Amino acid sequence: MPEYNRVTSVKSDKVIAVRGLQTRQGRRKTGRFLVEGPQAVTSAVAAGIPIHELFVEEDAGGSFSSVIVEAEASGARVSLVTAPVMAAMAQTQTPQGLLAVCALLPEGDLDALMAGDGVVVVLEAIADPGNVGTVIRTADAVGAAGVVLTPDTADVHSGKVVRSTAGSLFHLPVLSGRVIEEVAAAAHAHGRAVAVLGGEYATDLFTAIDDGSVSGRTVWVVGNEAHGASPEARSAADLTVRIPMSGRAESLNAAVAAAAVLYVSAYAAARDSQEPSSDGVGAPA
């Protein structure tokens, strides 16, 4: 490997600066956040996310040669660190030897998101960062148009959210800090229906897909784990839907509920694309 700067002290300014990014205040102040592990860092580099610094555990550096070259070519400063230094910087108990300091994700264009194809999921006041990251990863898996987070949802740049996405954070638009009224207005302006999930609603998910109420362009609102969707979300909704449960569980985890509706919407999109046209001619393959 080329000669890079080495960081050997856990008390160095570099370590202190990186640890400061583990707080929301530190991220907002600097405009930067942490991305850990080869999968996530590789995805960030491929997506063109500006990487300011890349820290590589010196004993594992050879395993990451390609991503190091790409990151350095994009302007990242590369430093080799000892295992204790990596452990002091990382937020995981078992660091994977690669840590990047990246620019915060761009705000994104809500109007452009709604104008595109694919389902959209809105996370309203979802507090658990693991749930947020899992929903983003699932949305990526089904080819969703994007994910929207309300202001009181867990910070998308927090370490647990980033890790839970397994790189998907960099594969699709994720917009933060959008209020429900703004989201619903943008959805309606582009002919999208807004659907809100809740256990108390009369219409079940399977009925909604059978009667065509749910489509591949539905905007789903998943509410807070404890309190569900807000009155504002229910007021803005075109459709209120419950996920049927035949067992004894009282409710579903928010990320599981989101996964269910995302896959149902993906199914609806595939079904609609295969339905024959009005003149009896099937849609092209």
User: Is the entire prediction scored with pTM above 0.75?
Assistant: yes
Question: Which tens digits make up the pLDDT trace of 58-88?
Answer: 987 578 889 999 999 999 999 999 999 999 9
Residue type at 55? F
**In a 10 Å sphere around its CB, with 0-12 CB exposed, 13-18 middle and 19+ buried, how is residue 3 labelled?**
exposed
Measured CA to CA, the distance from residue 51 to residue 72 in angstroms comes to: 9
pLDDT band at 1 (very low <50, low <70, confident <90, very high): low
Single out the residue of 142, 98, 97 nearest to residue 269, CA to CA. Answer: 142
- Compute how many other C-beta atoms are within 10 angstroms of the C-beta atom of residue 186: 21
Cβ contact 205:244 at 8 Å: yes
Q: What residue has token string 């784990």?
A: 225
- Residue 226 pLDDT grade (very low, low, confident, very high; cuts 50, 70, 90): confident
Query: Could you give the domains of the chain?
Result: 5-103 (3.30.1330.30), 110-274 (3.40.1280.10)
Closest among 222, 223, 209 to 270, alpha carbons compared:
209
What pLDDT shows up at residue 276? 60
Query: How many angstroms separate the CA atoms of 50 and 156, rounded?
Result: 17
